[in-house]
């Protein structure tokens, strides 16, 4: 049970958790290599606080080395080619063969409308974008703010709703020269369609109570930069003074070029083992495509949402499965798709959605009442996630575990 090499592609949420969990369970003598193009990691859930000036970029960023167990070798390289048949990955600097591979490359963002701040266009889906949006909101003197979801799928189904609520909350506290309106446009038929109509209606009520206009089934067609006008596929249009975009998401280039991509470009995996069509090559997180029971459109099967909470639990399942295979024991672990989301609603309160996304005939997800406890739970999670591996991280983990057992939420950290 040694001299086995496990290569992890991508050092975001899925990659970091896989690396640390494998370091915990794999006996020494086996090799764990993490390949990541960036030396620093930022915690995306906190971009929402960064955009309303509740965080500074350095507070939500950490050196990747500090977040990953010392047993793991990190290569700061960009994966360029995956030869799944022969189990070889080629980066911009090296060629590495492996026995097992975990692909955790996330999703790429379409940059077409990014870096257009001179036309009032922003995004809170990148670290830099959220910081720039924070500065724009600080000096915004009123008018129309639009949050627009460019296309489906996108990561974190709650994020646009949180973005709109936090923006409205932040701007209402400032003295603005002109009247304010905040509107949210999305191609979805309702908020978080994967979670069912009941939860969607609860979110609509919260938006309504905050005075946020909600426009479902609005597919973005184009943006007229000079006139500051958004045009939709239906022929409707809307003017904006400030636009906050959820950019289109696409599979990573290296996956599109490889035989791992399915017809949609993402990586199809077994829904319980997360194994791709190639034995011993797994994928976790946003890069995967997993069909789940239910459908909100006749021609579109429902997919497991792209979210950190799933990248995290999938990474633990995959690490356990790899450990079992290496040790020759049958694995009892499988990914069960229980997931949760703290939905920030402004004013330091959040909702808490929790459920089983593999439940049949459709996911069974409930939203708990808004409360400060969910907001502070999210803050504690952020502190734990960004703490360097070591004593304090373990203390924060114990606190999170204690909180989750009191609240009866099974979280695996």
- Which string of x and - marks every residue 146-175 that binds ligand FAD (by CB under 6 A)? ---------xx--x----------------
Q: Taking the CA atoms of 266, 267, 269 and 274 in sequence, report the sign of the dihedral they define.
A: negative
Residue of 137, 302, 307, 353 that binds ligand FAD (CB under 6 A): 307
Name the CA radius of gyration of the chain, rounded: 21
Q: Does 354 bind ligand FAD (CB under 6 A)?
A: no
Q: Does 316 bind ligand FAD (CB under 6 A)?
A: no
Residue of 308, 346, 351, 355 that binds ligand FAD (CB under 6 A): 308
Residue 391: other Cβ atoms inside 10 A: 9
Query: Rounded to whole angstroms, how far apart are CA atoms 303 and 292?
Result: 5
Between 108 and 143, whose beta carbon lies closer to ligand FAD?
Answer: 108
Give min distance, CB of 82 to ligand FAD, in A.
Answer: 9
Q: Does 236 bind ligand FAD (CB under 6 A)?
A: no
Q: Does 47 bind ligand FAD (CB under 6 A)?
A: yes
Cis peptide upstream of residue 361 (ω within 30 degrees of 0): yes
Q: Are 148 and 220 in contact (CB under 8 A)?
A: yes
Between 148 and 309, whose beta carbon lies closer to ligand FAD?
Answer: 309
Between 135 and 178, whose beta carbon lies closer to ligand FAD?
Answer: 135
Residue 27: other Cβ atoms inside 10 A: 11
Stretch that binds ligand FAD, among 102-110, 274-282, 317-325, 346-354 (CB under 6 A): 102-110
Between 47 and 214, whose beta carbon lies closer to ligand FAD?
Answer: 47
Mention every residue, 6+ apart, whose C-beta is less than 8 A from residue 268: 262, 276, 277, 288, 289, 290
Residue of 132, 306, 368, 393 that binds ligand FAD (CB under 6 A): 306
Give min distance, CB of 376 to ligand FAD, in A.
Answer: 14
Q: Does 124 bind ligand FAD (CB under 6 A)?
A: yes
Residue pointed to by tokens 């089934």? 217
Give min distance, CB of 382 to ligand FAD, in A.
Answer: 10
Q: Does 363 bind ligand FAD (CB under 6 A)?
A: no
Give min distance, CB of 123 to ligand FAD, in A.
Answer: 9
Tokens, residue 123: 């995004």
DSSP string, 345-357: EETTEEEEEEEET
Q: How many residues bind ligand FAD (CB under 6 A)?
A: 35
- Long-range CB contact pairs, 95-100, < 8 A, 24+: 96/5, 96/7, 96/33, 96/35, 97/5, 98/5, 98/6, 98/7, 98/33, 99/4, 99/5, 99/6, 99/280, 100/4, 100/5, 100/6, 100/7, 100/280, 100/281, 100/282, 100/322, 100/325, 100/326
Q: Are 318 and 274 in contact (CB under 8 A)?
A: yes
Tokens, residue 400: 């999170």
Q: Does 71 bind ligand FAD (CB under 6 A)?
A: no
Q: Does 37 bind ligand FAD (CB under 6 A)?
A: yes
Q: Does 188 bind ligand FAD (CB under 6 A)?
A: no
Q: Does 79 bind ligand FAD (CB under 6 A)?
A: yes
Q: Are 378 and 45 in contact (CB under 8 A)?
A: yes
Between 156 and 230, whose beta carbon lies closer to ligand FAD?
Answer: 156
Query: Rounded to whole angstroms, how far apart are CA atoms 122 and 98?
Result: 40
Q: Are 217 and 67 in contact (CB under 8 A)?
A: no
Between 67 and 228, whose beta carbon lies closer to ligand FAD?
Answer: 67
Tokens, residue 84: 């799944």
Q: Does 382 bind ligand FAD (CB under 6 A)?
A: no
Give min distance, CB of 250 to ligand FAD, in A.
Answer: 12
Q: Does 350 bind ligand FAD (CB under 6 A)?
A: no
Residue of 31, 78, 128, 356 that binds ligand FAD (CB under 6 A): 78
Give min distance, CB of 276 to ligand FAD, in A.
Answer: 14
Q: Does 5 bind ligand FAD (CB under 6 A)?
A: no
Tokens, residue 354: 């929790």
Applying CB under 6 A, the residues found at the interface with ligand FAD are 10-15, 35-38, 44-45, 47-48, 78-79, 104-106, 124-125, 155-156, 159, 252, 254, 285-287, 306-309, 311, 341
């Amino acid at each position: 049970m040694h001299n086995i090499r496990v290569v992890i592609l991508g050092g975001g949420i899925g990659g970091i958790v896989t690396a640390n969990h494998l370091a915990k369970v794999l006996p020494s003598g086996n090799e764990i290599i993490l390949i990541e193009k960036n030396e620093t990691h930022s915690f995306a859930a906190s971009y929402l606080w960064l955009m309303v000036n509740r965080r500074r970029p350095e507070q939500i960023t950490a050196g990747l080395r500090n977040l990953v167990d010392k047993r793991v070798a990190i290569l700061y390289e960009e994966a360029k080619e995956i030869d799944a048949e022969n189990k070889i990955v080629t980066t911009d600097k090296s060629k590495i063969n492996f026995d097992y591979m975990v692909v955790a490359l996330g999703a790429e963002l379409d940059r077409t409308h990014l870096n257009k701040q001179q036309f009032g266009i922003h995004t809170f889906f990148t670290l830099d974008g959220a910081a720039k949006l924070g500065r724009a909101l600080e000096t915004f003197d009123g008018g129309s703010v639009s949050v627009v979801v460019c296309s489906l799928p996108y990561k974190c189904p709650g994020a646009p709703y949180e973005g709109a609520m936090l923006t409205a909350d932040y701007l209402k506290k400032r003295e603005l020269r002109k009247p304010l309106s905040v509107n949210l446009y999305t191609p979805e038929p309702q908020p978080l369609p994967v979670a069912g109509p009941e939860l969607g209606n609860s979110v609509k009520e919260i938006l309504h109570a905050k005075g946020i206009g909600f426009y479902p089934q609005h597919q973005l067609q184009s943006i007229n930069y000079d006139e500051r006008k958004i045009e939709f596929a239906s022929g409707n249009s809307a003017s904006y003074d400030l636009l906050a975009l959820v950019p289109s998401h696409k599979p990573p280039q290296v996956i599109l070029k490889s035989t791992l991509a399915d017809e949609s470009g993402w990586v199809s995996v077994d829904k319980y083992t997360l194994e791709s069509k190639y034995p011993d090559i797994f994928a976790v997180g946003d890069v995967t495509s997993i069909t789940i029971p239910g459908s909100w459109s006749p021609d579109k099967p429902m997919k497991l949402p792209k979210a950190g909470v799933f990248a995290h639990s999938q990474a633990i399942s995959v690490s356990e499965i790899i450990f079992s295979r290496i040790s020759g024991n049958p694995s009892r672990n499988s990914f069960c798709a229980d997931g949760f989301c703290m939905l920030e609603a402004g004013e330091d309160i959040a909702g808490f959605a929790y459920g089983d996304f593999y439940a049949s005939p459709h996911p069974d997800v409930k939203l708990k009442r808004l409360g400060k406890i969910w907001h502070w739970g999210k803050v504690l999670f952020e502190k734990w996630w960004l703490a360097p591996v070591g004593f304090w991280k373990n203390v924060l983990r114990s606190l999170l575990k204690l909180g989750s057992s009191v609240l009866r939420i099974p979280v695996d950290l």
